[in-house]
Homo-oligomer: A and B are copies of this chain.
């Protein structure tokens, strides 16, 4: 029986990727001592160690790793041990070229960076199984072992493969899905453009085409590659479960990552972990906050680990701006506030050679313990120790946003009315409102459980699979408030149109039909009028015919002036709002705040702008995080009559609290 994460690590985990094989053995002890000094309690080891663990086929050398784990354990540092499969060794592809992933032009990827394997290669899966078996057997009972880290950032550089073996696997996958070729023909609509297949062997990849692909085929290719990579993950997972059934397993997810359906993956993992690298230039803090909330939602609110972040700056952007003093700490606390039970970095010691040598680390090139970077690491590591009892605490959301990877794939296919739309940007647009108002948000799958929420938002939910509209209908019928934005309910699971007037499956719930789409050019806009007030809209206008709904706002210009832009419809005990255009942030703020007020949903505390307030609830107490993103100190009024314990200051506070710029307060009550 696999152990719970908060059994294995009952405190906030703190540490990073540790690559001792890149350094002389003489450095290892120094590393362990510095780790102790910095409050490190967990490191990820051996992620890129295949070529040193198995320098020749079937010949394993664990001696160095034995010593590393011993030293770490002696210094109280736990280990998240990797399966070392992230980057296969040169001998493997030399001996078995079929393990190499292949590009669209038929040219194989090569050894020389990392992740050059084909997820569909049987030979690769075999090699992986051999390696993981050896590692699992050797270290399953090691006292330093806390968890198994499978592979690394699956699909990061390479989520598509066009090898012959992948093509055969794609055909097999299709056979399994559709059973008969006639069924496939129907589900892919192959009578269009004479694409009918007579047998499975005629099917090709949706690349090297003279013009537009078949969107149903492309969607299935994306599903297939997600499944292929997921199957590869499962190969490792099964070995580990078999040999060390009690140790939790996971792989690390990524930021804004489209190719993998993380909702599906998370069900097969004991812990959600992810790697976060926001650009300090970006100035959109809601983006990584949203990812924290998404990651926490993947396993129904179970806390996640931030498996990688950087102390200072990365090296893979065009210009790698560094985090200012205090920012790394502040953002780390935002992570913790939103469900992060682990704060880990890539990497422990900054590399001397290789492609990432200018990527920041906990110990910089200077190896100077007095450096700004190490000092900030050390401060945070030692502070986190004071948050005893927090690990495992849950969030408090009454609002949910529907998020769906397959919708993401389908809605961004080419050949749409407006081909510059980004699903993520549409979701961000709605999330931002809640973020800036300090309203907690969960994410749910379209077929997820909505019963815990008062307000559900479904931005651009283009794909509605058969029956999914029922879930939304029931939610509203029972009193929920639903917000749906334009270009929703258009296509089915095959990316075929739901006939019968857009958005066919949602027409009765929304009380309207959309007769036409009127996308706007880049420099085009319109004005909507709502209670006599005007607001600009752009990007898209649905031409709406009301069928029970009432207009909230109407267009003021163009040939469709006077027709509804936003509508509201009472349905059962609840109501559904439809947003048939792209409003301004201000308009959305006003609209959503109205809804929140009606639903009596509010922030934990009132706070000035750019002050992030988040709560986590443990068994017997609530942790209230106050994060000041401003460049000046702020004073926040606390709840009247409550006496809070300020964790970091170690004292009691009430009435109000002043938080310095770029600083955080964590209050328990």
Residues of B near A371 (CB, < 8 A) are 515-516
Kindly provide the distance from the CB of A95 to the nearest chain B CB, expressed in whole angstroms: 9
Selected from B110, B192, B208, B518, the residue in CB contact (under 8 A) with A204 is B110
Q: How far is the CB of A486 from chain B (nearest CB, A)?
A: 14
A86 to B, closest residue via Cβ? B194
Contacts of A372 in B (CB 8 A): 515-516, 543
Q: Mark A346-365, 1 if CB is under 8 A from B, else 0.
A: 00000111111110000011
In the complex, A95→B42 CA distance in Å?
58
Do residues A52 and B116 form an inter-chain contact, with CB atoms below 8 A?
A: no
A418 adjacent to chain B (CB < 8 Å):
yes
**Secondary structure dominating the interface of A:** loop
Which residues on B sit within 8 Å (CB–CB) of A315?
415-417
A428 at interface, CB cutoff 8 A: no
Whether B191 contacts A21 by the Cβ 8 Å rule is: yes
A115 interface residue (CB < 8 Å to B): yes
Question: Are B87 and A515 in contact, CB atoms less than 8 angstroms apart?
Answer: no
**B111→A196 contact, CB < 8 A:** no
Nearest chain B CB to A522 CB, angstrom units: 7
Give residues of chain A (524-551) contacting chain B, Cβ–Cβ below 8 Å: 524, 543
Within 8 A of B (CB), among A351-410: 351-358, 364-368, 371-373
A111 neighbours in B (Cβ, 8 Å): 195, 202, 204
Q: Evaluate whether A113 and B193 lie within 8 angstroms (CB atoms) in the complex, with A316-B212, A320-B417, A355-B415 already known.
A: yes
Q: Is the CB of B210 within 8 A of A113?
A: yes
Task: Kindly state whether residue A622 has any CB partner on chain B within 8 Å.
Answer: no
Contact flags A614-629 to B (C-beta < 8 A → 1, else 0): 0000000000000000
Residues of A in contact, count (CB < 8 Å): 121
Q: Which residues of B contact A94 (CB under 8 A)?
A: 201-202
Determine whether A108 belongs to the interface, using a CB cutoff of 8 Å to chain B.
Answer: yes
Q: Are B193 and A87 in contact (CB under 8 A)?
A: yes
Question: Looking at the complex, which of A99-107, A133-141, A287-295 is the stretch in contact with chain B?
Answer: A99-107
Chain B CB within 8 A of A650 CB: no
Q: Which of A11-60 contact B (CB under 8 A)?
A: 19, 21-22, 48-52, 55-56
Docked pose: A521 CA to B322 CA in angstroms: 10
A150-187 CB contact bits vs B (8 Å, 1 = yes)? 00000011100000000000000000000000000000
Docked-complex contact B497 and A365, CB < 8 angstroms: yes
Bound CA span A103–B105, Å: 10
The proximity string for A residues 579-611 relative to B, scoring 1 for CB distances below 8 Å and 0 otherwise, is: 000000000000000000000000000000000
CA distance A371 to B210 in the complex (A): 34
How many whole Å from A406's CB to the nearest CB in chain B? 16
Q: Are B114 and A319 touching (Cβ within 8 A)?
A: no
Contact for A322 among B51, B107, B517, CB less than 8 A: B517
Per the bound structure, the CA–CA distance linking A263 and B416 in Å amounts to 35
The answer on a CB contact under 8 Å between A193 and B48 is: yes
Contact with B along A79-92 (1 / 0, CB 8 A): 00000101111110
Q: Are B101 and A210 in contact (CB under 8 A)?
A: yes
A326-346: CB near B (< 8 Å → 1, else 0) gives 000000000000000000000
Please state if B501 and A209 are interface contacts (CB–CB under 8 Å): no
Contact A194 B88 (CB under 8 A): yes
Residue A520 at the chain B interface, CB threshold 8 Å: yes
Q: Given A322-B517, A322-B518, A415-B356, verify A209-B88 contact (CB < 8 Å).
A: no
- Is there contact, CB below 8 Å, between A191 and B317? no
| Residues of B contacting A198 in the complex (Cβ-Cβ under 8 angstroms) | 55-56, 89-91
Report if A313 contacts B (CB, 8 A): yes
Q: Does A202 lie within 8 Å of B559, measured CB to CB?
A: no
Partner of A520, one of B195, B321, B418, B558: B321
Please pick, from B108, B415, B521, the residue contacting A358 in the complex, using a CB distance under 8 A.
Answer: B415
Q: Is A252's beta carbon under 8 Å from chain B?
A: no
Distance of A243 Cα from B109 Cα, bound (Å)? 47
> Are A365 and B89 closer than 8 Å at their CB atoms?
no
B103 with A158: CB separation less than 8 A: no
A214-229 to B contact mask, C-beta < 8 Å, 1/0: 1111000000000000
User: B110 and A207: CB pair below 8 A?
Assistant: yes
* Cα distance A559–B325 in the bound complex, in angstroms: 7
* Cα-based distance from A474 to B315 in the complex (angstroms): 35
Supposing A198-B55, A213-B113 touch, asked if A193 and B366 sit within 8 A by C-beta, the answer is: no
Q: List chain B residues, Cβ under 8 A from A641.
A: none
Does A205 sit within 8 A of B, measured CB to CB?
yes
Rounded to whole Å, the gap between the CB of A233 and the closest CB of chain B is: 18
Given contacts A193-B354, A213-B113, whether A322 and B519 have CB atoms under 8 Å apart is: yes
Known A116-B209, A316-B414; further 14 A-B contacts with Cβ < 8 A: A56-B198, A90-B196, A109-B208, A112-B195, A113-B214, A115-B210, A115-B211, A157-B210, A212-B356, A216-B354, A315-B416, A322-B516, A325-B559, A366-B515
For the complex of A and B, 7 pairs with smallest distance between CB atoms: A189-B353, A192-B354, A212-B355, A157-B210, A51-B196, A90-B202, A113-B209
5 A-B pairs with CB atoms under 8 Å apart are A107-B208, A112-B195, A315-B417, A319-B521, A356-B415
